[in-house]
């Protein structure tokens, strides 16, 4: 699986494509998806769908609700992608 840094960079690109008005250079690993990046519930659904499509994983709603930061999301993707192969 890709390194955490590589996943972070890929996720920032995905967020930039999915979230209007996002400034990619301001996204940090500890950025809060809602408070820092302004991802509301509708945008969260779009982000989750984009992640699922990009990495070929399924994120149950209860897991998505627990992903508060970019770092948590990267680690979730890493773990889910490595177990789905």
**Superfamily the domain 4-83 falls into:** ACP-like (1.10.1200.10)
- CA-nearest of 3, 1, 42, 48 to 20 is 42
Cα 11 to chain center, whole Å? 5
Q: Are 44 and 64 in contact (CB under 8 A)?
A: yes
Q: For 3-14, what is each residue's pLDDT tens digit?
A: 899 999 999 999
Q: Per-residue confidence at 83, pLDDT binned at 50, 70, 90?
A: confident
Q: Which one of the listed residues 35, 40, 63, 65 is annotated catalytic?
A: 40
Based on its alpha-carbon atoms, the radius of gyration of the chain, rounded to whole angstroms, reads 12
Question: Is 40 designated active site?
Answer: yes
pLDDT tens-digit profile of 19-58? 989 999 999 999 999 999 999 999 999 999 999 999 999 9
Whether the CB-CB separation of 34 and 68 falls below 8 Å is answered with yes
Whole-prediction pTM = 0.91
16/84 Cα distance (integer angstroms): 26
């Amino acid at each position: 699986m890709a390194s955490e840094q590589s996943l972070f960079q890929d996720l920032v690109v995905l967020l930039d494509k999915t979230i209007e008005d996002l400034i990619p250079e301001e996204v940090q690993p500890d950025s809060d998806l809602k408070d820092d990046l302004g991802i509301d519930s509708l945008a969260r659904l779009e982000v989750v769908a984009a992640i699922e499509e990009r990495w070929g994983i399924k994120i149950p709603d209860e897991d998505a609700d627990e992903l508060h930061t970019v770092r948590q999301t990267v680690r979730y993707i890493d773990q889910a992608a490595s177990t789905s192969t």
